[in-house]
Amino acid sequence: MPLRLALSMCALLAAAGAAGAGSTLEARYAVTFTGVTLGQGALVVEVNEEGYSAAGSAMVAGLLQMITGGKGTAAARGQIVNGRILPISYSGNSESKERSHEVRLSGAAGTIKDVHVEPKRPFTSDRVPIRDEHRKDVVDPMSAAIMPVAGNGDVTGADACKRTLPIFDGEYRYDLVFSFERNDSARELKEMRGYGGPLAVCRVEYRPIAGHRQRRQVQELSENKDIFVWLAPIEGTRIVMPVRVSFGSKIGAFIVQATHFVSEVKPRPATR
């Protein structure tokens, strides 16, 4: 579950106030644990008047599988209406020596209508059941990384952290509650290339809703005060995305760090 959380933090324009032409982001990330590099991943995001699309590989699609020697991919697309991310589809798959896992979600207006998970988790009496209401007003794990900032103020100010991400990944329903911690500069992240501007640093609280088992680890995760995310803007938009996630634990710290974060505005195609 902690690694699933890191993934989630770790991916339309109209109400968010973004530019009309469209923007793209290409990012690469490295995953480390107590300073040891565990693997790398990549992410591509496209944003325009029609909505957004995002595709990722390796840790973006399955951090746990990367650590256990596996690989994975994930993709999502959707729209934004009145400042809300509204996913249309999400797919993710991962493979390792121990396990293969596939998820497909589809929906509209913030409600996930179709869910396919293979293999399904076995029933246990201590697992909080997923109900129909847990599929409403939610986002998938990749769409959750695409965060519009309301208003017309500083996109990396305190408003960047004023959000609660209601995430449903096909098996778990949980909230990630953000709160503003401080401002930072990308120049302090010496490992990252492509962006050198200001960052918003948010503290993140995990709140389990359904799908989880009633276990001590879940309670410890919800009480963890050492989870932070650094947010940077996509050029030409009022959308921010994570460039760094820090997850502290009793056994050490997981860090997801962007090594390459380059975004640009695409010109509007000429019309006759």
CA separation for the pair 263, 268 (Å, rounded)? 16
Tell me, what's the pLDDT at 72?
A: 80
Burial of 170 (C-beta count, 10 Å sphere; 0-12/13-18/19+): buried
Digit-coded pLDDT (tens) for 107-140: 998 899 999 999 988 888 999 999 999 999 999 9
- Is residue 86 scored above 80 in pLDDT? yes
Predicted structure pTM score:
0.86
Indicate the Cα dihedral angle 18, 19, 23, 28, nearest 10°: -40
Tell me, what's the pLDDT at 205?
A: 96
- Is residue 95 scored above 80 in pLDDT? no
Tell me, what's the pLDDT at 268?
A: 63
Tell me, what's the pLDDT at 122?
A: 84
CA separation for the pair 62, 107 (Å, rounded)? 22
Digit-coded pLDDT (tens) for 131-185: 999 999 999 999 999 999 988 889 999 999 999 999 999 999 999 999 999 999 9
Q: Name the residue among 97, 109, 161, 159 with its Cα closest to residue 135.
A: 109
- Kindly report which listed range (8-17, 34-43, 50-59) carries the lowest average pLDDT score: 8-17
CA separation for the pair 228, 46 (Å, rounded)? 25
Digit-coded pLDDT (tens) for 199-221: 999 999 999 999 999 888 899 98
The full 3-state SS of 104-124, as one line of letters, equals EEEEECCEEEEEEEECCCCCC
- Is residue 104 scored above 60 in pLDDT? yes
Mean pLDDT of 218-239: 94
- Is residue 17 scored above 50 in pLDDT? no
